[in-house]
Structure 1
Amino acid sequence: MSRILPGPVLPTTVVGSYPVTKSGGISGLLDPFREAVKTAVADQVAAGIDIISDGQVRGDMVGMFTGLIPGIRGSEVIGPVSPAAGPITVADTRYALSRAPLVKGIITGPTTLSFALHIATPSYRSRGELALDLARVLAREAVLLAEAGVSIIQIDEPILSTGAADIATATEGLRLVTGNLSVPVCLHVCGNLSAVIDELVAMPVDILDGEFARSPENLALFREVEIGEKMVGFGCIDSSRPEVEEIDLIRSRIESALTVFAPEQLLVDPDCGLRMLPRESAFSKLSRMVEAVRQIRTEL
């Protein structure tokens, strides 16, 4: 058992998104993404993933949130933002919880959202001000996900690795989103982490999740820092390419991580979301990742 999460050592999970399969017939008219949610959940369960997601199939990581937040129209902020009229991701997450005991709730972070939007209102003088208001809005969604019964809440902040965002503001945004939560909080950041590694390990989260297959240099960065009681989500399959890695390659990547982290410190997942891959490729990647972990567990 890990110190933070229930379940086996080296728990497998996903970063979030899964390829979208559109619904047909009458059910597709009522909810064009209903079958996509079912398929994403079923595939993760069939692949053997320990902590699944709802598949994030209803849109891109920005639009699925900003499209429901008052004060935003399209990609423009036209007034003060306020909480959505109802939950944004909870219904699909509840479905995932009906099919698996451990589910990850996922929220696109306020700093990343602020950089995806054009401020067209005097209500905000800077992206930082907007990000903090978005954080207050997203805090409600985080609480609703926790109340639904998720095992982890993940905040996606890919913008942080670019150096474009103010880290102090991003940190405060994280505190605002997650301050009322009792479940473990994961921060996912894509890309090369060299410019922000020191700041990331100080973030007020329980788990740091990054890409290590496409950015293997990130592992060397973690050799030089102290993460304390935090866990690390170790991205070990390349989510940017449809080619499915061999089990031995995935296993070797995880074994490299185990030279830096104790088994109890690791979650194992893809680098990023799998939304842009063919479904067959995404499923095979997850299945092989699970098999690689199974083999390693037998030797621990």
Structure 2
Amino acid sequence: MDLPCIMPTTVVGSFPCVKGTGISSLIDPYKKAVQFAVAEQIRAGVDIISDGQVRADMVQAFVSKLPGISDKTVLGKIGAADKPITVGDTKYALTKTKYVKGILTGPCTLAYALHVDTPIYRNKEEVVMDLAAALHQEAKYLAETGVAIIQVDEPILSTGAISVDTAREALKIIFAGIKTPSCIHTCGMLGEIADSWTKLPVDILDFEYAVSMENLSVLSKRDLAGKKIGCGCVKSSDPHIESVKEIEERITACVDAFGAENILIDPDCGLRMHTPETAFEKLARMCEATKNVRERL
């Protein structure tokens, strides 16, 4: 796995949307938002950035582009989008840095957010599999751009609403034939699903630690079979900006649990809900804390 350094910093995904103004914004109101999100991540010192996920919420960004779905209602057979969904913004990010992660909202999370109004699908599990097939096409597009990681966001798994077994089969479909390192991000408490979640067919398991601190002890007791671990060490749900020292303590605990060579450092989740200033400062302090821990190793 080609990573920029030991214990690289990254993001789960989203950044506050700061739209541009003027004539150019009439053509693409989100172009400036993407540029701003990318620039701020780089300015903060993030090693592996995202495109900022500024164009829509994590569900609408994908389902609005897929045949068979209208206004979050499944009306027919779900198919792949007729053109790439995230690739344009991802390619822009790649012009600014070598290390970018492509991000897909997972099919389990998408399916849970949809209303099914067609006899084509008997249950949400069948919807998940067709969504996974649609996302496989997007994953192939992202792999072709040269992204460092392709991450699938599945926050729904920690709730138990959709089984991890379903997610496992979906991930096999998404990443079939794709060699780019794969990642799953799940926030929330993982205790009830840890045994099956840690066995998912991905290269990186990304979890929430800053808020759900019990996750560290839960995961550290499992055989992770050589997987890398993405450790959420900054609270994304709290506007309070933690001190560098506090973040360092969380990072150190993750190093002790998994080894510095096995972890990536990121926030618990996306930062879209915060002001741009808060989001930047959280990332900047995370990067400073990580640098300090690296220097002590």
- Which residue in 2 is equivalent to 1:205? 202
Specify the SS of the correspondent of 1:192: coil
Aligned equivalent of 1:38, options 17, 35, 46: 35
**1:179 CA drift (Å):** 1.4
Separation in 2 of the partners of 1:223 and 1:266? 12
Specify the SS of the correspondent of 2:91: helix
Q: Deviations over 1:176-208 (max 9, x none)?
A: 001121011000001000111011111000000
Residue 140 of structure 1 pairs with residue 137 of structure 2: yes
- Which residue in 1 is equivalent to 2:107? 110
Separation in 1 of the partners of 2:202 and 2:136? 15
Specify the SS of the correspondent of 2:231: strand
Specify the SS of the correspondent of 1:187: strand
- Which residue in 2 is equivalent to 1:196? 193
> Superposition RMSD on alpha carbons, in Å?
0.7
Separation in 2 of the partners of 1:36 and 1:160? 30
Q: Give the TM-score normalised by structure 1.
A: 0.98
- Which residue in 1 is equivalent to 2:118? 121
**1:5 CA drift (Å):** 3.4
**Paired residue type of 2:211:** R
**1:166 CA drift (Å):** 2.1
Q: What residue ranges of structure 2 are gaps of 5+ in the alignment?
A: none
- Which residue in 2 is equivalent to 1:261? 258
- Which residue in 2 is equivalent to 1:237? 234
Residue 183 of structure 1 pairs with residue 180 of structure 2: yes
Specify the SS of the correspondent of 1:258: helix
Residue 89 of structure 1 pairs with residue 76 of structure 2: no
Separation in 2 of the partners of 1:223 and 1:268? 16
Equivalences for residues 155-166 of structure 1 within 5 A: 155-166=152-163
**1:285 CA drift (Å):** 0.4
Separation in 2 of the partners of 1:137 and 1:166? 20
- Which residue in 2 is equivalent to 1:247? 244
Specify the SS of the correspondent of 2:26: helix
**Paired residue type of 1:228:** A
Specify the SS of the correspondent of 1:94: helix
Q: Deviations over 1:133-155 (max 9, x none)?
A: 11001000000000011000000
**Paired residue type of 1:208:** L
Runs of 4+ aligned structure 1 residues displaced above 4 Å come to none
Separation in 2 of the partners of 1:22 and 1:206? 34
Q: Give the TM-score normalised by structure 2.
A: 0.99
**Paired residue type of 1:89:** T
Separation in 1 of the partners of 2:3 and 2:262? 13
- Which residue in 1 is equivalent to 2:50? 53
